[in-house]
Amino acid sequence: MSAWRRAARIAAAALVAAPAAAWAHGPDPAQGVGFAPRLGAQLPVQLTFTDDAGRDLPLARALGGKPAVLVLGYLACKDLCPTTLAGVTQALDASGLAPGRDYRAVFVSIDPRETLADLRREKVARIAAVSRTAWTFLRGDARAVDRLARAEGFRYRYEPERDAFAHAAGFAVVTPEGVVSRDFPGVRFDARAVGTALREAGQGGIGAPPSPLLLLCYHFDPLTGRYTLAVLGALRAAIAVFLAGAAFWAWRLRARRARR
């Protein structure tokens, strides 16, 4: 058997075995979890939340009549959530847009148990003072959070045995009216693309879907062997690219031999 065929078979086996190996140590990390914003969907902006100043207000007021980034997560998360929020703030800071004037930013906790004190503390800790006026941290009851998440296309799962949430990483850009305009999956984002998306959203534009990369926030417990971060989608994509490259290389090799 040629070397490329052996490599291809190994890669194919890994493609099949990778999710099985991960799930053998616990439930399917992707079950009930995903980030697929419905571009053009109207968010329920009439839903009421409590902001970091202790005010009860509808989501529409948090958007402030500006294009906005909308981040869902929870503040007690120690895995992807801090990295995602840091990636969002870095992209916004480098976008060339003025915080508060050109855009708003909204973080909504998916954990209804998080308190006003949590919102205040984490906003100060995670958002630079120069950008803080553009940001609103919100909490709400489980029903309001679930309605917002469903409307956006953000699916998450609470795991009582770990007292934690499994969820995807990324954020959405919405128009001043609360229409989903663009989504950015992952934890690191291109500042120019984010800036462009916010400008287009400010004019009511709807962007194109991004590459379907899915990162899952999933805590690892060494006692049970459960996985922390499921990047199975990225792994599958990488192996698929490898297989395509191997096939192309084999085709070229055969073509050269045929010409001899």
- The band of 208, judged by pLDDT with boundaries at 50, 70 and 90, is confident
Predicted local confidence at residue 48, as pLDDT: 98
Pairing of strands 154-159, 170-174: unpaired
Section 27-49 average pLDDT: 82
* pLDDT tens profile 5-31: 554 454 444 444 343 333 333 455 556
171-175, 209-213, 226-230, 242-246: which is most confident: 171-175
Whether pLDDT at 144 is above 60: yes
Residues 79, 118: Cα–Cα separation, whole Å:
17
Predicted local confidence at residue 234, as pLDDT: 47
* pLDDT tens profile 146-181: 999 999 999 988 888 888 888 788 899 999 999 999
Section 49-64 average pLDDT: 97
Residues 6+ apart with CB under 8 A from 10: none
The dihedral sign for the CA sequence 143, 144, 147, 153? negative
Whether pLDDT at 216 is above 90: no
Predicted local confidence at residue 246, as pLDDT: 59
| C-alpha distance from residue 179 to each of 28, 35, 47, 127, 199 (Å) | 32, 16, 14, 25, 14
Burial of 52 (0-12, 13-18, 19+ CB in 10 A): buried
Please give the DSSP secondary-structure letter assigned to residue 101: T
Determine contact, residues 106/63, Cβ cutoff 8 Å: yes
Residues 106, 127: Cα–Cα separation, whole Å:
12
Predicted local confidence at residue 28, as pLDDT: 54
Angle between helices 80-93 and 116-126 (to 10 degrees): 50
Predicted local confidence at residue 35, as pLDDT: 82
- The band of 239, judged by pLDDT with boundaries at 50, 70 and 90, is low
The dihedral sign for the CA sequence 16, 21, 22, 27? positive
CB count within 10 Å of CB 182 equals 26
* pLDDT tens profile 89-139: 999 999 999 999 999 999 999 999 999 999 999 999 999 999 999 999 999
**Is-above-0.75 flag for pTM?**
no
Find residue 48's DSSP bridge partners: 58
Predicted local confidence at residue 138, as pLDDT: 98
Determine contact, residues 194/208, Cβ cutoff 8 Å: no
Look over the chain and give the mean of its residue pLDDT values, rounded to a whole number: 79
- The band of 66, judged by pLDDT with boundaries at 50, 70 and 90, is very high
What are the two backbone dihedrals, phi and then psi, of residue 230, each rounded to the nearest 5 degrees?
Answer: -95, 110
Q: For a pLDDT cut of 90, what percent of the chain falls above it?
A: 53
